[in-house]
Amino acid sequence: MPSLLVALLLAARPFTPEELLATRRADDVQVSPDGKWASVTVRGKNLETNKDDKDIWLLPVGGGAARPFTRNASSEHARWSPDGKQLLIVREGQLWIYDLSGGDAHALTALSGEADGGVFSPDGRFIAFTSEVYPERGGDDGCNKECAEKADGGAGSAGDGRSPKGGAQVSGVHARIVRVHAKSFHRARNESFPLVMEFTNSTCACLMALF
């Protein structure tokens, strides 16, 4: 027994930096409504981009091998629809919805301020998410994009974080879209977000209606 213990101690060694960077990490586990599956975000360091590659994997709760669900290295934050038939995923900074029965994924947003943290309402008719906006522009994405482009051209002379031309606040303040009349995925993706908006001093929480 002592010789075995010594052998185990000699064999033990710390991770090398290369081994540590090659390790994949799993987080954000979400169990499906029927309790049979769990979605997991799996991350791994990409040394070429110096960023994390991330994809969604599905794991059978009752046992069995996990399998990759996305393969684009830019997917995270999977959320199940209340009926368990769809997954809402943040992919490349926008919201995408996947039908688990098959078929192509649908992009729900194409916002200049990107979209994050999407969740379904309990009845599945709404999606709440966050997006960076310029509150002085009323949440109009065309105006937000224009403000962002002006801000990229240089900050104000006083270094006050304002656009040199438009004077809009550069910080991401959240607008709340109370209701959006989106009749289909196509309209939800391309239609600007009008109607009632509430501004807070933190992020922009938006509600998208699904019909």
In tens digits, the chain (211 residues) has pLDDT values of 555 555 555 566 676 777 777 788 999 999 999 999 999 999 998 888 888 999 999 999 999 999 999 999 999 999 999 999 999 999 999 999 999 998 889 998 888 888 888 888 888 888 888 888 777 665 677 877 887 787 776 544 333 444 433 444 444 434 333 333 333 333 333 333 333 344 443 456 666 665 4
Please tell me whether residues 56 and 132 are part of one structural domain: no
- The tokens describing 80, both together, are 């199940």
For 5, residues 6+ apart whose C-beta sits below 8 A from its C-beta are none
Convert the pLDDT of each residue in 161-196 to its tens digit. 444 334 444 444 343 333 333 333 333 333 333 333
Q: Tell me if 97 sits within 8 A of 106, measured CB to CB.
A: yes
Partners of 25 in the β-ladder: 43
Whether residue 31 lies inside any domain: the answer is: yes
- What residues form DSSP beta bridges with 127? 120, 208
- Residue 67 belongs to what domain range? 16-80
∠ CA(6), CA(11), CA(13), 5° rounding?
Answer: 120
Question: CB of 37 within 8 A of CB of 58?
Answer: yes
Q: Encoding tokens for residue 10?
A: 């000699």
97 found inside a domain: no
201 shares a domain with 146: yes
What is the distance between the alpha carbons of residues 100 and 148, in angstroms, rounded to a whole number? 36
Per-residue model confidence (pLDDT) at position 87: 96
Confirm if 210 and 127 have CB atoms less than 8 A apart. yes
Q: Are 67 and 117 found together in one domain?
A: no
Rounded Cα distance, 114 and 106, in Å: 16
Name the one residue in this structure whose structure tokens are 């065309």.
142
- Residue showing tokens 């975000």: 41
Strand ranges, E, within the chain: 25-31, 37-46, 51-60, 67-68, 75-80, 86-91, 94-99, 106-107, 116-120, 126-130, 175-177, 197-199, 205-209
Radius of gyration of the chain (CA): 22
Domain count, the chain: 2
Q: Is residue 8 part of a domain?
A: no
| Beta-bridge mates of residue 107 | 96
Of 80, 96, 124, which residue is a domain's last? 80
